[in-house]
Amino acid sequence: MPVPHRTDQRPLQLWRLTDGRPGHEKQSLGLAQALARRSALQCLDLPVRGTAATGLWSWLSGRFPAGAALPRPDLILAAGHATHLPALAARRAHGGRIVVLMRPSLPLLLFDLCLIPAHDDPPRRANVIPTRGVLNAVASGGVHDPARGLILVGGPSRHYRWDGARVAAQVRAILQAQPQVAYTLTTSRRTPDDFLAVLGAPAELDIRPHETTPAGWIEAELAACGQAWVTPDSGSMVYEALTAGCRVGLLELPPVRGSRLAEDIAALVREGRVAPWSHFLHTGTLPAPDEGFNEAERCARAIIERWYA
């Protein structure tokens, strides 16, 4: 089905397919928000969780009932494997172009545009744009008070060997080195249950377990803090801190040999965008913020220039 003609009077119609996974939804939300800053846009969220089993039949039969009563889409955003077949079905039934975030589980040629992290080694194709990390919904700018800092703790992953005692020791050293900075620490769903016990309760540290923080809390903290420390297993958090415009430090963990994420984080260190904990202890400094770093904005600009300029 051809892509509907768009006039200056009609906003871009965007269908954002969601699978219920917060990480995936943050990525597509970030791109949707960036597109809305560049073009008049109507974004409709269509949950597709649980429809993957019927996605193939819907695609082959040209059926996508969820969109029957909606304005035909110009763009269909898909993030996560569960959204791929529904996106193909939606395009066949109602038209539009599919933008898929992260490397899809299906052949790339099936999608109009693929935004794939560079650490996943995407091929050079006309419909592929490599990204630094995954996209996010963090807004660039903010107050960035140098007297405030945020510490983001992840947990075991296939990219780094977790060592809670080592992370706790580094956190305590940062607090000791910067008594003038008011630090807040938060955990993640992957943080082992015993980590906070290992860390103890330093009087100068405000600890906010992830279960106690509302939606949007981390984004607001990143906008307010001058510096952010992140465990490298939390690659998405590293890129969120960079996007926000914080000075970014890395709590150090041993990388797993051959991990593409670990190689990507090492590249950020070589480029001077982030600094590891050991470097900070020797110099007392973190890299200046990269004010132009915002991958969602860059991709939104590329989409508008490609199809709607």
Q: How does pLDDT run across 136-149, given as a tens digit for each residue?
A: 999 898 999 999 99
Q: Which amino acid is at 53?
A: A
Render pLDDT for 153-187 as a digit per residue (tens, 0 to 9): 999 999 999 999 999 999 999 999 999 999 999 99
At a CB cut-off of 8 Å and minimum separation 6, what does 214 contact? Answer: none
pTM of the model: 0.90
For residue 181, give both structure tokens.
């900075």
**Burial status of residue 285 (CB atoms within 10 A of its CB: 0-12, 13-18, 19 or more):** exposed
> Residue 1 pLDDT more than 60?
no
Asked if the domains 12-137+296-308 and 145-283 are classified in one and the same CATH topology, the answer is yes
Q: What is the pLDDT of residue 5?
A: 46
Q: What is the pLDDT of residue 62?
A: 77
What pLDDT band is residue 3 in, cutting at 50, 70 and 90? very low
**Burial status of residue 69 (CB atoms within 10 A of its CB: 0-12, 13-18, 19 or more):** exposed
Q: What is the pLDDT of residue 9?
A: 66
> Residue 250 pLDDT more than 60?
yes
Per the CB < 8 A criterion, the answer to whether 149 and 183 are in contact is yes
Q: What is the pLDDT of residue 136?
A: 95
Q: What is the pLDDT of residue 2?
A: 43
Q: What is the pLDDT of residue 60?
A: 72
> Residue 4 pLDDT more than 80?
no
CATH number corresponding to 12-137+296-308? 3.40.50.2000
CATH number corresponding to 145-283? 3.40.50.2000
Q: What is the pLDDT of residue 257?
A: 94
Task: Say how far residue 185 (Cα) sits from the centre of its chain.
Answer: 20
Share of the chain above pLDDT 90, in %: 85
Tell me which residue of 15, 139, 161, 158 sits closest to 77, measured CA to CA: 15
Render pLDDT for 68-89 as a digit per residue (tens, 0 to 9): 899 999 999 999 999 999 999 9
Render pLDDT for 191-205 as a digit per residue (tens, 0 to 9): 999 999 999 999 999
Q: Enumerate the domain spans of the chain.
A: 12-137+296-308, 145-283
H helix and E strand count, the chain: 10, 12
Report the SS3 class of residue 129: strand
